[in-house]
Every structure is written in structure tokens, then in C-alpha cells.
Amino acid sequence: MTAPDVRRGRGRPRDPRADEAILRAALELFTEHGHAGTSIEQIARRAGVGKLTVYRRWGSKDELIAAAVESARGELPNPAADELDGMSYAEVSRLLADALPVAARTLAEPGYRAMLAQVFGSSVTHPGLMGAFWENHVLPRRRTMQTVLSRAVDEGVLPVGTDIEALIDMTVGAVVYRLLRPEPPDADELLAYLRAVYSQAGMIPRQ
């Protein structure tokens, strides 16, 4: 995973390797033990740095875990909405379809599903974590879906008056529901399901 940009502190230049190690350790511990079961001491120990090194970069545990959740955003592919300007429905829907195999593999990983569960479970007590997840994981993909569906309406693939926001909610809700099953799908099953749901919603061509 790629570490996001983080605030610069005073003093000598930051070592990006320490940033990455701290974020990786924070994400692993949060995924394994949740917010309450993760401490700065544990994060520093797993990252192989001192507590002061952590506090120079992040002022609190909440801030650090939010940054760690943000750092996982690169694991799910997504064409940026501004890259889709001028493309037809066929072109943008194909880009979205091409991203589904990697998305399926990522969503099928137990570690990623565990992180999702911890984020959802912390949404009331630590809303900043859900805020980071929403801003860096949900909204970029939602904007891409909005672009694809707008093209679909413009070109007659979907009827005029289609409620795009409701359609996106239904699509995302279906995927989350499938991931919450007692026996979640493997990558191949999830890919087939993603293709079925996205094609029913008009986001990719019918299979």
C-alpha cells in the first residue's frame, strides 16, 4: 500500500519509510483488535520506532488510525471521475468493468473485510474513522459511478428520470450485504456477483 501525504513536523526531514511502517502497523493492529484494542505503544513497537516518532507525525491515536484507514485506499482500483471527461458510455463502462477483477480480489481478502468491519463498528464512537473511509474509499468510487450512470442516461441506456443516487445506493448496498454473509464469497464468486449487479444497474454492459 502507498502511504498518503501526512503533515510535516518541525525539525529534521521526515523518513518516509518510518511513515509507511507506522501506517502499516496501525492498520494491521486496528484490523486485528479494533480501536479500543490498539495503542500508540503497540503501533510504535510493531513499526520498530519510538513513541515520540509516532507523536511527531500524528497528534492522537484517532488521527493516526484515520490516516491508516486512508492509506488502504490504493488497494481498490478506480478510474478517477475527471479522467472520464469526454468519454462515451461504452468507454467509461468498459474502464469500470476492467477494474472489477482487482476489486473482487481485494474485497474477498479477509484482512480487507476485517478492516471494513472495524470501521463500521467504530462509526458511532469514532466518527472520524468513518469520515476518512468515506472520503478516501467511498466518494471517489461514487463519483465514478455517477459519471457512468449519467452517460448511460444521456445515451439512452437508462431511461430519463433514473434516480442515479438511489441506484448507486442499491448497488453498493447489494455488495456490502453479500460481504456480510456468514460464508462470504471467494474472489471468483464475488467477481461474478459484481458483474451481475453492475450490469443490472447499467454501469457496465450486460453480460
Read off the pLDDT of residues 36-60 as tens digits, 9 standing for 90 and up: 999 999 999 999 999 999 999 998 8
Determine, yes or no, domain membership for 2.
no
Distances (CA, A) of 130 to 29, 65, 66, 150, 161: 17, 11, 8, 27, 31
Is residue 146 domain-shared with residue 188, that is, in the same domain?
yes
Distances (CA, A) of 27 to 11, 12, 156: 26, 26, 44
Is residue 81 domain-shared with residue 96, that is, in the same domain?
yes
- The CATH number for 29's domain is 1.10.10.60
Is residue 55 domain-shared with residue 150, that is, in the same domain?
no
pTM above 0.75, yes or no: yes
Is residue 176 domain-shared with residue 197, that is, in the same domain?
yes
- 191 vs 206, higher pLDDT: 191
Residue 89 CB coordination number (10 Å): 22
Question: Confidence class of residue 80 from pLDDT cuts 50, 70 and 90?
Answer: low
Spatial separation of the C-alpha atoms in residues 79 and 93, rounded to whole Å: 10
Is residue 113 domain-shared with residue 181, that is, in the same domain?
yes
Is residue 125 domain-shared with residue 175, that is, in the same domain?
yes
Q: What letters, b where the CB count within 10 A reaches 16 and e where it falls short, cover 39-54?
A: ebebbbebbebeeebb
Spatial separation of the C-alpha atoms in residues 204 and 63, rounded to whole Å: 37
Determine, yes or no, domain membership for 137.
yes
Q: What is the pLDDT of residues 138-185, one digit of tens each?
A: 888 898 899 999 999 999 999 999 999 999 999 999 999 998 888 889
CA torsion 17→19→25→26, rounded to 10°? -170
- Three cell numbers, residue 86: 469526454
Would you say residue 102 has pLDDT above 50?
Answer: yes
Among 78, 54, 67, which Cα is nearest to 27's?
A: 67
Which domain covers residue 187, as residue numbers?
Answer: 76-201
- 69 vs 164, higher pLDDT: 164
Determine, yes or no, domain membership for 146.
yes
Which of 71, 97, 117 marks a domain boundary? 71
What's the domain count of the chain?
2
Determine, yes or no, domain membership for 9.
no
Is residue 89 domain-shared with residue 151, that is, in the same domain?
yes
Would you say residue 70 has pLDDT above 60?
Answer: yes
- The CATH number for 136's domain is 1.10.357.10
Is residue 64 domain-shared with residue 86, that is, in the same domain?
no
Is residue 141 domain-shared with residue 115, that is, in the same domain?
yes
Which of 34, 49, 71 marks a domain boundary? 71
Which of 55, 71, 87 marks a domain boundary? 71
Three-state SS at 9: coil
Is residue 102 domain-shared with residue 22, that is, in the same domain?
no
Is residue 59 domain-shared with residue 124, that is, in the same domain?
no
